[in-house]
Amino acid sequence: MKKIYLKKKVEQIAGNADHKTVEEEEKAFVPEQRGKVGVVHDFLHRTTTKSTSAVCQLRKDYVNSKTHVQMLDLYDVEAFDNHDGGAWKQGWSIGGKIHHSSYRNYGWEITYDKDKVAQEKKLEVIVITHSHCDPDWIKTVLRIPDQENFGWNSRMRFIYAEILFFELWWKDQSEEVRKKVRELLDSGKLKIVTGGWVMTDEANAHYFSIITELMEGHKCIKNHLGGFRPTSHWPKDPFGLSPSTPYLLTAANITNAAIQSGTYA
C-alpha cells in the first residue's frame, strides 16, 4: 500500500501541475457498494449522529472496564445447579393429569375440579399457530427445513416469522407451491410477521444488527412475494427488552405487536 502511494506521488510531481494531489483523489474516492452489508453500512454512516466525545458517555459513566473477572473461570467456580424457582419457575399448575413429555418438561400439572369450572365464566381462548425456528438451536439451520413439513388446513391460519428458514424452504419449491403460498398470503390464511431474517433479541443485539436483519428479511419478502408487506411484530422468543426496538419497527412500517411473557411481568 505504501509503495503504491509513493508511486502515485512521484507520478504527480512529474506530471501536470494542475493534477489533483493523491490525498484529494483518495478523499474523493467512493468505494464500491459491498452488497446489502455495504448499503446498510453507508446508510447508517450518513444518518448516525456523530458524538463529539471519543468515548460513549454512558460507557464512561457506568462501565468499569478494569475488571479482573475472567468469564471462562465460571466453568470452574459455578455449579450451574437448576434450583427450583418456586412461583417463578417456568410452568404453573393448571390442573389434571397430562402425559405428554413436553408438558412434563415444563412442570405443568393439570388438576382441576370439573364441576366447579363448569360454573365459572367462560373465557375466549385464541390459539395462534406459529413458527418457532431457532438458527442452530438443537438442530442446525439446514436440518430444520428438511425435517419440517408445511401442511395446509382450510379452517386454520398460520403465522411465520423467520425469513432465514422461509428462504431456505422457498428456493426448493416448485412454481405451483409458490403460487399457493402467494394465494394463502392474499387470503390472510398465511401471515408473515415481523419479517426479519431472524427473531432478534432486543437487549443483547446492537441496533446496527437489528436494522441489518430486518432489511435482509424484508428485501427477501419484496423479491419473492410481490406486494406483501409485514405489518405485525411477533416477539415470541426474545428475552431482552429494549425501547429502541419499537422505534426501529415503526420505521419498518410495523403497526401492530404482540406482547409476550406477560405471565412473568
Q: Provide the annotated active-site residues.
A: 237
What radius of gyration, in Å, describes the C-alpha atoms of the chain? Answer: 27
Q: How far is CA 146 from the centre of its chain?
A: 22
**233: β partners:** 257
Task: Show the cell assigned to 215.
Answer: 432489511
Task: Show the cell assigned to 191.
Answer: 401471515
Q: What is the DSSP string of 157-196?
A: -EEE--HHHHHHHHTTS-HHHHHHHHHHHHHTSEEE-S--
**256: β partners:** 232
53 touches 46 (CB < 8 A): no
N residues, the chain: 265
**81: β partners:** none
The residue behind cell 370439573 is 114
Closest Cα to residue 169, out of 212, 138, 131? 131
Residue 199: CB atoms within 10 A of its CB come to: 23
